[in-house]
């Protein structure tokens, strides 16, 4: 059981806790250090922040001790995510004691959730900036230079940072994220995101296309279109009056070049249309992989979660995906032990996982978030031990499914986009196939990062595939 907890921690870390620090290229006396936590949207936002600070002539450093400004781009999704930030802040206390001029800023979702309270609770914080206020950073930093604390947590209905060209951080030069929308209007009862990121708004499609084209011209070969609910993307061209929906945007990006792979995240089961699935099927360069979070396999729990679909609806979406794209991989997010969930209802989640044959899942136990509809209206009555037990069972089952899913690929040959050296050896490359599976294989010939190669899979674990390049 302990082992599974560790595995879950690792999984969570890989998605929610991964730390990003980076260098911007500009020269300036003033150096800042930034770390990002949470989802891909936050990582993408840090690239926008980097661009805004670069315009001010500030440069980044990977050395904490060199920084005059430390920024944490934070996540509030579960209690543990916030605890991680508070622990990290504690580690900065000694730096602040040494350097009274050091400014410490918190950005992102936790900044938005706690607002001014952050300054009261964490005395060493000088700057609190919500996800829609990054353009105001230069002014706010100026305010802290005067010795004042600075806060801007205004949530906008329009801000999409469409005109800001993100500075790609810690980039492999091959894959990049493009934000296509911000906020969320869904109000899933467990979720803090609508409160921390505000109302849903879609970014100008032309600016998305321009960014993707520019990335391709600079040698990038894969873009991931990001939003909390990409299927509700909707933008009206002011010149033609024409509405661009997600399926249209996907097609337009796919048409930039057949050598540019397109991915997207996250799809909402209630909104993913046949048109989106058909568009994916039509274009070989739209990757055959859908992250389609189920959250629970039981219709009563789904209703309490306000997911607005039931088990049957979800199964119909999965059936349509596999019918139109038999080789498509589907992954999921799962919450164990939501309010009032019974053992039988939990078993329905397990049976859904087996039925849907998820290639992988992100799995969590329910963590009540203050102010959410569930916190206000439902009782968090599943004891923590039961939550953990159910989560461990979910993880164990997913590991088995992933292992089988991966073993089924042994003997098959896939087109793989080389992303760079594998973590373990500089003699090996790593890259993904269309189904988003990571494959590790020995280097061969003159192939380099950004090239496509055919790889024959020879062995598999529940996490990775290994293979060899076929000419
Ligand atoms: N927009 C995405 C999810 C973003 S949050 C979607 O709708 O699928 C990422 C995942 O965190 C969610 O899918 C959910 O599984 C998990 N999550 C969100 N709030 C949570 C909470 N209060 N407790 C536990 N897990 C939670
Ligand atoms: Fe949260 Fe639901 Fe919006 Fe996803 S769709 S961000 S889970 S409210
Ligand atoms: Fe976390 Fe905010 Fe993303 S709460 S998961 S960083 S949208």
Query: All domains of the chain, ordered by start, with CATH?
Result: 3-152 (3.40.50.12160), 175-407 (3.80.30.20), 413-470 (2.40.50.140)
Half-sphere exposure of 381 (CA within 13 A, CB side): 7
pLDDT at 82: 97
Distance 175 CA to ligand 2 centre (A): 25
Contact 211, 203 (CB under 8 A): no
Ligand number with the minimum distance to the CA of 40:
3
162 by DSSP, 3-state: which?
Answer: coil
The count of other CB atoms within 10 Å of the CB of residue 246 is 27
- If you ran DSSP here, which 8-state letter would residue 62 be given? S
- Tell me the H-state helices in 108-177: 108-114, 117-121, 137-145
pLDDT at 370: 97
Q: Does ligand 3 have an atom closer than 6 angstroms to the CB of 75? A: yes
pLDDT at 454: 98
Closest ligand 3 atom to 81 CA? 1
CA distance 159 to 471: 48
Distance 28 CA to ligand 1 centre (A): 39
pLDDT at 15: 40
pLDDT at 170: 84
pLDDT at 8: 42
Ligand number with the minimum distance to the CA of 200:
2
Distance 442 CA to ligand 2 centre (A): 40
Distance 110 CA to ligand 3 centre (A): 8
Residue to mutate (ligand 2; options 81, 188, 231; most atoms within 8 A of CB) = 188
Phi first, then psi, for residue 405 (nearest 5°) are -60, -45
Which portions of the chain are predicted below pLDDT 70?
Answer: 1-28
Q: Does ligand 3 have an atom closer than 6 angstroms to the CB of 301? A: no
pLDDT at 94: 92
Distance 210 CA to ligand 1 centre (A): 31
Half-sphere exposure of 249 (CA within 13 A, CB side): 34
The count of other CB atoms within 10 Å of the CB of residue 170 is 14
pTM: 0.93
pLDDT at 230: 97
pLDDT at 29: 75
Tens of pLDDT, residue by residue over 96-142, are: 999 989 999 999 999 999 999 999 999 999 999 999 999 999 999 99
The count of other CB atoms within 10 Å of the CB of residue 185 is 12
pLDDT at 184: 97
What are the structure tokens assigned to 94, written together? Answer: 């000694």
pLDDT at 471: 80
> Strand pairing of 103-107 and 127-129?
parallel
Closest ligand 3 atom to 109 CA? 2
Closest ligand 3 atom to 37 CA? 6
- If you ran DSSP here, which 8-state letter would residue 298 be given? -
Give Rg (Cα) of the chain: 22
The DSSP H or E segment spanning 206 is helix 205-217
Which of 107-127 are b and which e, b meaning 16 or more Cβ less than 10 Å from the residue's Cβ?
bbbbbbbbeeebbeebeebbb
pLDDT at 3: 39
Ligand number with the minimum distance to the CA of 335:
1
The DSSP H or E segment spanning 360 is strand 360-365
Closest ligand 1 atom to 190 CA? 22
Contact 209, 180 (CB under 8 A): no
Closest ligand 3 atom to 113 CA? 4
pLDDT at 459: 98
């Amino acid at each position: 059981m302990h082992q599974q907890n560790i595995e879950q921690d690792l999984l969570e870390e890989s998605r929610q806790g991964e730390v990003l620090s980076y260098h911007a290229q500009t020269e300036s006396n003033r150096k800042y250090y930034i770390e990002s936590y949470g989802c891909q949207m936050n990582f993408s936002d840090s690239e926008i922040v980097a661009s805004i600070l670069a315009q001010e002539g500030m440069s980044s450093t990977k050395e904490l001790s060199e920084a005059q400004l430390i920024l944490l781009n934070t996540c509030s999704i579960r209690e543990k995510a916030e605890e991680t930030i508070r622990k990290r802040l504690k580690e900065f206390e000694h730096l602040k004691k040494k350097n009274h001029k050091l400014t410490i800023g918190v950005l992102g979702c936790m900044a938005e959730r706690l607002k001014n309270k952050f300054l009261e609770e964490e005395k060493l914080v000088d700057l609190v900036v919500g996800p829609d206020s990054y353009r105001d950073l230069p002014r706010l930093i100026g305010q802290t230079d005067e010795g004042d604390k600075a806060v801007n947590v205004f949530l906008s209905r329009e801000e999409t940072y469409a005109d800001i060209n993100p500075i790609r951080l810690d980039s492999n030069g091959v894959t990049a994220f493009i934000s296509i929308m911000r906020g969320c209007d869904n109000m899933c009862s467990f979720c803090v995101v609508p409160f921390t990121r505000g109302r849903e708004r879609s970014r100008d499609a032309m600016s998305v296309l321009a960014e993707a084209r520019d990335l391709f011209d600079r040698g990038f070969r894969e873009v991931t279109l990001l939003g909390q609910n990409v299927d509700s993307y909707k933008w009206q061209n002011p010149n033609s009056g024409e509405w661009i929906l997600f399926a249209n945007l996907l097609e337009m990006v796919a048409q930039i070049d057949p050598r540019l792979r397109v991915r997207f995240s996250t799809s909402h089961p209630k909104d993913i249309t046949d048109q989106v699935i058909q568009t994916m099927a039509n274009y070989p360069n739209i990757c055959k992989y859908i992250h389609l979070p189920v959250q629970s396999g039981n219709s009563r729990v789904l209703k309490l979660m306000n997911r607005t679909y039931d088990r049957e609806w979800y199964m119909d979406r999965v059936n349509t995906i596999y019918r139109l794209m038999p080789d498509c991989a589907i992954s999921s997010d799962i919450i164990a032990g939501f309010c009032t969930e019974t053992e039988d209802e939990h078993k329905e989640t397990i049976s859904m996982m087996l039925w849907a044959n998820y290639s992988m899942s992100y799995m969590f136990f329910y963590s009540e978030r203050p102010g959410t509809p569930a916190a206000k209206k439902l009782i968090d009555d599943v004891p923590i031990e039961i939550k953990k037990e159910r989560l461990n069972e979910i993880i164990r089952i997913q590991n088995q499914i992933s292992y089988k899913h991966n073993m089924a690929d042994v003997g098959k040959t896939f087109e793989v986009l080389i992303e760079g050296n594998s973590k373990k050896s500089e003699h090996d490359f790593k890259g993904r196939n269309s189904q988003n599976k990571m494959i590790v294989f020995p280097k061969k010939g003159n192939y380099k990062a950004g090239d496509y190669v055919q790889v024959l899979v020879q062995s598999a674990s529940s996490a990775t595939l290994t293979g060899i390049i076929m000419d």
